[in-house]
């Protein structure tokens, strides 16, 4: 089925009370957003987070302790469901395509411009910095801890994480010097206006 025609609903329950319902046609974005929202405060005994398709079929459940050791895989071709299976080097969908693992090494960031905020993964940080090179930027992790600040002109003012600093320097400088072309900025979510 074509992903554009499919609608999904993500439901979050905190202590048995539904607190958030999100609708979307991009299952991968909904899963990544759910992984971000269900942080270390998520209690599998009292909280629940699930995604359903338009027919009410469950297509993703946030992991419980019993799911540890299993990976969350997504087929970009079908884009209709996720699967939680034993971690393997290659996992294939029923349609024959190799599935992408979503729950490994994913670190999410929130980038703030003067008027917007964007949820992104590490791969989009350089694109975000270059897209808004003329603005002062702040980047935090999803727990609102400051990760980096940038001055107008695309220059980092401060990076608070040593590993992230190394990554950004190796990825950002070649783009700034024109050795590598800038890529379009593609956040997971974004463009929310804030005061």
Q: Do 79 and 145 fall into the same domain?
A: no
Q: pLDDT digits over 114-146, tens only?
A: 888 888 888 889 999 999 988 999 998 776 778
From residue 36, how far is each of 32, 102, 126, 128, 184 by CA, in Å? 6, 12, 20, 19, 23
Q: Do 170 and 150 fall into the same domain?
A: yes
Q: Do 84 and 64 fall into the same domain?
A: yes
Q: Do 9 and 95 fall into the same domain?
A: yes
Q: Do 97 and 119 fall into the same domain?
A: no
Model confidence at 195, pLDDT cuts 50, 70, 90, reads very low
Q: Do 187 and 112 fall into the same domain?
A: yes
Mean pLDDT of all residues in the chain?
78
| Highest mean pLDDT pick, 57-66, 72-81, 100-109 | 72-81
List of long-range contacts for 78-83, beta carbons under 8 Å, 24+ apart:
78/1, 79/3, 79/6, 79/26, 79/27, 79/28, 80/1, 80/3, 80/6, 80/27, 80/53, 81/27, 81/53, 82/27, 82/31, 82/51
Q: Do 135 and 67 fall into the same domain?
A: no
Of the candidates 35, 67, 101, which is a domain's last residue? 101
Domain limits at 132?
Answer: 108-193
Query: What confidence score (pLDDT) does residue 137 get?
Result: 93
Tell me, yes or no, if the pTM score tops 0.75: no
Q: pLDDT digits over 45-75, tens only?
A: 788 888 888 888 888 787 654 454 566 777 8
pLDDT higher than 80, residue 14: yes
Q: Do 90 and 114 fall into the same domain?
A: no
Q: Do 50 and 114 fall into the same domain?
A: no
Q: Do 48 and 68 fall into the same domain?
A: yes
Q: Do 119 and 59 fall into the same domain?
A: no
3-class SS at 35? helix
Of the candidates 55, 80, 101, which is a domain's last residue? 101
- Report DSSP letters for 135-192, one per residue: S-EEEEETT--EEEEEETTTEEEEE--HHHHHHHHHHHHHHHTTSSPPPPP--SEEEE
Model confidence at 87, pLDDT cuts 50, 70, 90, reads low
Q: Do 83 and 112 fall into the same domain?
A: no
């Amino acid at each position: 089925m074509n992903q554009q025609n499919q609608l999904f609903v993500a439901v979050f329950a905190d202590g048995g009370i539904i607190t958030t319902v999100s609708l979307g046609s991009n299952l991968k974005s909904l899963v990544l957003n759910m992984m971000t929202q269900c942080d270390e405060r998520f209690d599998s005994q009292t909280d629940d987070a699930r995604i359903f398709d338009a027919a009410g079929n469950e297509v993703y459940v946030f992991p419980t302790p019993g799911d540890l050791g299993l990976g969350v895989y997504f087929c970009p071709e079908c884009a209709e469901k996720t699967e939680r299976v034993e971690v393997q080097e290659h996992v294939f969908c029923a349609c024959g395509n190799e599935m992408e693992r979503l729950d490994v090494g994913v670190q999410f960031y929130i980038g703030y411009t003067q008027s917007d905020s964007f949820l992104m993964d590490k791969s989009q940080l350089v694109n975000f910095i270059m897209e808004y090179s003329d603005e002062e930027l702040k980047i935090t992790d999803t727990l609102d801890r400051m990760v980096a600040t940038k001055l107008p002109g695309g220059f980092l003012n401060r990076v608070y994480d040593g590993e992230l600093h190394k990554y950004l320097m190796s990825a950002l400088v070649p783009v700034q010097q024109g050795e590598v072309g800038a890529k379009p900025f593609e956040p997971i979510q974004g463009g929310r206006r804030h005061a």
